[in-house]
Copies of this chain bind each other. A is one copy, B any other.
Amino acid sequence: MSQPALLRSTYALLGEDLLQAIETHGQYMDVPAGTTLVREGQFVKVVPLVLHGTVKVFTKTEDKELLLYYIRPSESCVMSFAAGMGDEPSKIMAVAEEATTLWLLPVAQLRQWVTEFPRINLLFFTQYNQRYAELIDTINALLFNRLDSRVYQYLKEKTRMKGELVLDLRHRQIAQDLGTAREVVTRVMKRLEQEGKIKQADGKILLL
């Protein structure tokens, strides 16, 4: 599918006039897995819409990270939007987890569109709400759940996203996403396995 067509089909709900504006002023970008899109403290000049792929959003302090959420197609990065509109530095990091196709909207145009095409607010409000809810969930998990359930929740979410029950995933990666240490994850995974919730074999993880 051509890029404009992908844009149109993915974001049809925005309406034709807005889509046209987005198409003329926006810019297409294709990035390989691992590309850093937003760094902490960085000022944002463009807001990305995700057309294809997955972008991972997380906080980082020194060498400790915490996964906040993923941005999937038809979604947008509200943190960029927030940082862009408010002219404030970003508080989070965003990295392409897979090869990802983006459509970049310049902040300057966005500021106009917010009043010119009120429909675009719908997109951002929806996104804000969703992210908000995810952050609250994260906070609750951090505060109320022990690592066991956090890891398990994380694994369930991963399988939901990938659409398959077998995950090819390193303990190290899980640890990083949850802001803990590799050995601790190993320990927890062992316990989950004993409880019959997962199964591990040659580096893959199977959810039961």
Contacts and interface: CB of A to CB of B under 8 A. Distances in A.
Contacts of A135: 132, 135-136, 139
Interface string A81-116: 010011010011000000000000000000000111
- In the complex this chain forms, how many copies of it are found? 2
A91 B61 contact: no
B82 A132 contact: yes
A136 B83 CA distance: 13
A128 interface: yes
B115 A115 contact: no
Contact-residue size bin, chain A (C-beta under 8 Å from the other chain): 35 or more
Nearest to A124: B125
A64 B143 CA distance: 9
Given A114-B121, A131-B132, A143 B179 contact: yes
Contacts of A136: 59, 68, 91-92, 135
A144 B86 contact: no
Contacts of A126: 86
A139 B140 CA distance: 10
A7 interface: no
A74 interface: no
A179 B139 CA distance: 11
A137 B92 CA distance: 11
A125 to B, nearest CB: 6
Given A66-B143, A115-B121, A139-B142, 5 more contacts: A59-B140, A61-B143, A66-B139, A68-B136, A91-B133
